[in-house]
Structure formats: C-alpha cells, structure tokens
Amino acid sequence: MQKENNVYQTCKFFKENLPVEHVGVALVLGSGLGDFIQSLNPMLELPYSQIPHFPQSTIKGHQGVFYLCQLEQVNLAILSGRVHLYEGYSPFEVAFATRVLGVLGVKNIILTNAAGALNPQFDVGSLMLITDHINMTGNNPLTGPNVDEWGPRFPDMSQVYSPELQQLALDTAKKLQIRLEKGVYLCIPGPSLETPAETRAFRFLGADAIGMSTVMEAIVAKHMGMRILGLSCLTNKNLPDCMAETSHEEILSQAKKANSILSTLLLDLIPRINSN
C-alpha cells in the first residue's frame, strides 16, 4: 500500500510539473552514457533529489537527473542515471522510475546500459540490441501483492523486447552504417564482476552480454504492457580462458567512447518510434 501510494504521489508531482500532456518515449541512460543530453535542448531538468520518492544514485558515472526534451514531434523523458540492486536498493526501488512512467501512460521505453561482452565474436565499443534476457539476480520487482491496475499477477515474458522496436533499431543502424550486434543480456546482482568459471557458465546458459541493470526495469515495463527496446554498449570482453582484469574506471571510459555512436543511433531512431 505504501509502495503504491509513493508511485501515485510521484505521478501527481509529474502531472503538476511536466510542461506537456503526453510523453511518447522514455529513455534510461546507463553508466557513462549521459552525453546524449548534450545534443538536445531540454525543456525541463529535474535532479532526482527534487522528485518525491525517486531513489538517488550513489555511484560515479550516474548523473541522477530527469530531463524532458522534444525530438522532432516526440516528447522524450530521459532518466540520466539509474539505481542498482548492488547499491542496496530493493527490486521495487530499482524499477520505481519505470513504474511511474508506465502509470503516467508512457508506451515506449528504451533501456541502455554498459555491459561486458560474453560472445567472443563481439567487439569492445560495439552496440548490442537486446533480444532477450536472463535474470540471474534471484530478485523480481513484482514480488509481493500485485497491483491489478498496473498489470497481471503472472505477466507473460515470451517476448519482452518489442519486435517492432528491434526491427526499427536494426533498420536505423543499417542506414547509419552502425554495427549493431544482437544478443541475450544476462543480469547479475553485482557489485563483484564475474569469475572465469561464472563467465563460462553464463556463456553456456546462452548469454551474449552481462551487466548489473536493465532487467528489473524491463520486467516492470513488460508488466505494464510497454514496448521495450534494450541497447547495451559493450565496454569490455570476458573470455573465460583468457580473462583480463576489468575495472569500473575502464568500463566508464569505454562507455564514454561508445556515447557518440549510441547518440547518433538514438537521435535518428527516437523520432520514428512514436508513429510506429
């Protein structure tokens, strides 16, 4: 009940403060991927600390600001920075912003992240379109009483990532000559990175990339019937037989490099989403 009230209070705050009636697309920018905003001219900029009940990011590389922008005809909400399970937030809190956007009636959400490549054919610096996910966190944001107005008790997960949005992303990447891999994203709770034995096991399970975010938000978005597009920036490569050391600094620095290609893709893609 308290959780539900918090969501409705935050929705009320947005209804009172957003200068537009309708938001067509929401975009969550992951670790080190905040540069996209620089190419836009936001109508509204709200630090998460000014938004009721919004959890605050505790880590480097996550800005913690909500923006509202107009990209051609599309009103775009951008969440620059997110919170994670490893920060100590509950699955509900991790997906809180997604829930609020869904209750506000946003129909399309783009989830971006920095991820490690597990597929040996993928290169560091490339983008990966998420076709499906594996939830290895042992957590689920829908645990507890179901709020029927938000979605069903047992939501279908046979197609989490929208086939239409995937096709649109692939067509846009092709047009722009951007390399866009396709694959399965596996989410671990973190914050420790994976061992060589875990890397081998996850690859064996069918994962192409690994990270510590996105899946809680995707489950909530799917619960609400939103169309989801998932994009990973591959910041490092994990090969179990020649495991290289990975640091958070390195992940952030690679994500910074991938920013411009991600921005190019998103700038072309987003205006075409709403009318789809």
**Does the active-site annotation cover 245?**
no
Q: Which of 70, 126, 135, 246 binds ligand HPA (CB under 6 A)?
A: 246
Q: How far is the CB of 270 from ligand HPA (least distance, A)?
A: 24
Shortest separation between residue 199's beta carbon and ligand HPA, angstroms: 8
CA distance 67 to 90: 24
* 206 dihedral zone (left: phi>0; alpha: psi -120 to 50; beta): left
Interface pick for ligand HPA out of 77, 97, 231, 251 (rule CB under 6 A): 251
Site string for ligand HPA, 199-238 (x = CB under 6 A): -----------xxx----------------------xx-x
The span from the CA of 140 to the CA of 153, in Å, is 12
Q: Which is nearer to ligand HPA, 64 or 211 (CB)?
A: 211
Interior CA angle at 186 toward 272 and 28, to 5°? 35
- Catalytic annotation on 212? yes
Is 213 catalytic? The answer is yes
49 tagged catalytic:
no
Residues 6+ apart with CB under 8 A from 276: 164, 165, 168
Helices (H), the chain: 2-17, 91-94, 96-103, 163-176, 196-205, 215-223, 248-269
Please say if 67 is a catalytic residue. Answer: no
116 is an interface residue for ligand HPA by CB under 6 A: yes
Residues identified as active-site: 31, 62, 84, 86-87, 114, 212-213, 236, 248
